[in-house]
């Protein structure tokens, strides 16, 4: 239902009144990409939200079990644990002058937006940073940065320049008869951004921002892209979805077996038929003292109980699936409930997260480039320059990410002591304090108190000398 609603709402986007004719084929291609991938993206989101139910997991269950939750949560675990290792720290320039960047966009807002964008990137395999001109009269920065997932955006790839050629993003929705429809969309071209409104069952250009940057104000942030798939791939792989489906089915089987295990079946031989007809199976099971009369021939009935199958095979199979998912997601087995106490040393424990750290480092390496591009784009939009000119002016701009290995404070301090012993002047830099885990505000306070203490010492020395 969601797919068809959005499909019919976007079909006429390329024919919007006021859109340049040369852009219509590109917009049509972008909308087709959006529609063709909508169903898959909705499935990926359902796995992350743990709302997808495997088709074979409830078929054999009694009716009273079919409404019970069989949530697994493994796909969300795989996304969140990697996302939590990718944290944007700050922008950096060797001379420390970030005034142009800070005046163009909200640096703190960028960090907060990245905290949400990293999960979206992993779920769908890609997302897009969109830069628009802000309303400074309303308190907004000159450039406003927003991140769009693949449920609200799509792009056409420029294979020669290795970047987005044209992008489409849904900026607002309206609800009609309980169904959401796109009401505002933006088309991002290399020299202008077009804002389109849905009105009277048709799209029309409502506003044009001619920024003249020379490239679309949309930046891709893919996860594990390749030359054939520049928009990346989802961390929720096909194999991860298959394992989740199998785990749901096994959860259903275990629930049924558990019910039978706690209520073993009994059998009675030689009982009077009137006794069996007078009580239900449940009443027979629950009675603490069972009184059974002799049959018509005077023989005593024989009572027995069927032996129960062990629950161990179910538990072993669940552990097998957990190991499969841990391997697929590059996570330690303990993340999926498998006992991780078998590590023989702290080094072995750290080694269990090596693959996850490597994946985070690779993710950070690509993402910092995307974030830097967004910052340069915001400066270009605020100053009215072309992107290439702003990029040359900010050639030293970089993005710092938090160490994905997440070392403890003791490990950081030990590392810094060793570095400072080899490079003495390093201890006097701000970088040393950052490596020790202090944030920007704390570093400012420490440096302020240091300066105040040095001033007091200088004054006291002057009085001591009688000056």
Q: Spell out the per-residue pLDDT of the chain, length 467, in tens.
A: 334 444 446 778 999 999 999 999 999 999 999 999 999 999 999 999 988 776 655 555 555 555 566 678 899 999 999 999 999 988 988 877 888 999 998 888 898 999 999 999 999 999 999 999 988 778 888 999 999 999 999 999 999 999 999 999 999 988 877 778 889 999 999 999 999 998 878 899 999 999 999 999 999 999 999 999 999 999 999 999 999 988 888 887 777 766 665 566 666 666 666 655 555 655 555 554 455 666 666 676 776 666 666 778 888 888 999 999 999 999 988 888 776 555 555 555 566 788 999 999 999 999 999 999 999 999 999 999 999 999 999 999 999 998 898 766 666 666 666 676 777 776 667 766 666 666 666 777 777 777 777 788 877 777 777 65
CA atoms of 448 and 184, how far apart (whole Å)? 48
pLDDT tens-digit series, residues 335-363: 887 765 555 555 555 667 889 999 999 99
Task: Characterize 259-291 residue by residue with b for buried, 16 or more Cβ atoms within 10 angstroms of its Cβ, and e for exposed.
Answer: eeeeeeeeeeeebeeebeeeeeeeebeeeeeee
Q: Of 134, 79, 144, give the one whose Cα is nearest residue 110.
A: 144
Yes or no: say if 338 and 322 are a contact pair by the CB < 8 Å rule: yes
Both structure tokens of 223 = 């996860």
Strand, helix or coil for residue 229: coil
What angle separates helix 238-262 from helix 312-329, to the nearest 10 degrees?
160
Write down the pLDDT at residue 50. 86
What is each CA distance from 338 to 72, 75, 122, 317, 334, in whole angstroms? Answer: 14, 16, 24, 11, 5
Yes or no: say if 96 and 137 are a contact pair by the CB < 8 Å rule: no
CA atoms of 69 and 151, how far apart (whole Å)? 27
- Please give the backbone phi and psi of residue 55, each rounded to the nearest 5 degrees, phi first: -65, -25
CB-based contacts of 166-173 (< 8 A; 24+ apart in sequence): 166/23, 166/26, 166/27, 166/30, 166/190, 166/216, 167/30, 167/128, 167/130, 167/216, 167/218, 168/13, 168/27, 168/30, 168/31, 168/34, 169/128, 169/130, 169/218, 171/195
CA atoms of 46 and 241, how far apart (whole Å)? 11
CA atoms of 244 and 237, how far apart (whole Å)? 11
- Which DSSP state fits 402? -
Residue 157, strand partner residues: 164
Write down the pLDDT at residue 373. 96
Write down the pLDDT at residue 345. 55
Surface-to-core class of residue 339, CB atoms within 10 Å of its CB (0-12 exposed, 13-18 middle, 19+ buried): exposed
Both structure tokens of 347 = 């080094």
CA atoms of 57 and 72, how far apart (whole Å)? 12
Q: Of 207, 27, 234, give the one whose Cα is nearest residue 150.
A: 234
Residue 143, strand partner residues: 133
What is each CA distance from 75 to 50, 80, 129, 329, in whole angstroms? Answer: 8, 9, 24, 9
CA atoms of 401 and 386, how far apart (whole Å)? 27
Dihedral angle over CA of 245, 247, 253, 259, nearest 10: -130
């Amino acid at each position: 239902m969601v797919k068809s609603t959005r499909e019919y709402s976007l079909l006429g986007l390329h024919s919007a009144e006021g859109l340049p004719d040369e852009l219509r084929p590109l917009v049509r291609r972008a909308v087709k990409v959006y529609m063709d991938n909508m169903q898959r993206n909705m499935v990926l989101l359902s796995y992350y939200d743990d709302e997808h139910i495997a088709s074979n997991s409830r078929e054999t269950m009694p009716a009273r079990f079919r409404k019970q939750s069989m949530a697994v949560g493994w796909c969300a675990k795989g996304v969140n644990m990697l996302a939590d290792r990718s944290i944007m720290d700050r922008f950096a320039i060797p001379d420390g002058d970030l005034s142009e960047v800070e005046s163009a966009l909200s640096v703190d807002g960028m960090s907060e937006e990245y905290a949400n964008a990293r999960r979206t990137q992993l779920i769908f395999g890609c997302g897009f940073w969109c830069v628009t001109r802000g309303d400074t009269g309303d308190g907004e920065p000159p450039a406003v940065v927003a991140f769009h997932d693949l449920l609200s955006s799509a792009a056409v790839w420029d294979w020669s320049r290795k970047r987005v050629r044209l992008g489409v993003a849904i900026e607002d929705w309206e609800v009609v008869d309980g169904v959401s429809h796109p009401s505002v969309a933006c088309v991002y071209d290399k020299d202008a951004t077009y804002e389109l409104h849905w009105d009277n069952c048709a799209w029309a250009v409502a506003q044009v921002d001619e920024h003249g940057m020379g490239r679309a104000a949309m930046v891709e942030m893919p996860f594990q892209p390749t030359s054939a798939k520049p928009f990346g791939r989802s961390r929720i792989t096909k194999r991860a979805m298959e394992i989740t489906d199998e785990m749901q089915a096994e959860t259903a089987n275990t629930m049924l077996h558990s019910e039978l295990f706690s209520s073993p079946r009994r059998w009675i031989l030689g009982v009077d038929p009137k006794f069996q007809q007078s009580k239900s199976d449940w009443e027979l099971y629950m009675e603490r003292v069972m009184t059974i009369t002799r049959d018509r021939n005077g023989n005593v009935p024989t009572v027995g109980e069927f032996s129960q199958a062990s629950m161990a095979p179910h538990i072993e199979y669940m552990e097998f699936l957990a190991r499969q998912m841990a391997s697929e997601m590059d996570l330690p087995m303990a993340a999926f409930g498998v006992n991780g106490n078998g590590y023989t040393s702290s080094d072995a424990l750290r080694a269990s997260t090596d693959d996850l750290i490597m994946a985070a480092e690779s993710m950070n390496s690509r993402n910092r480039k995307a974030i830097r591009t967004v910052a340069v784009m915001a400066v270009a939009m605020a100053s009215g320059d072309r992107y290439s000119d702003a990029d040359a002016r900010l050639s030293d701009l970089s993005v710092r990410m938090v160490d994905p290995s997440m070392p403890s404070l003791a490990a950081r301090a030990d590392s810094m002591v060793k570095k400072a012993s080899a490079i003495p002047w390093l201890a006097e830099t701000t970088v040393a304090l950052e490596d020790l885990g202090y944030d920007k505000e704390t570093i400012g306070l420490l440096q302020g108190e240091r300066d105040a203490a040095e001033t007091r010492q200088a004054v006291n020395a002057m009085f001591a000398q009688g000056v």
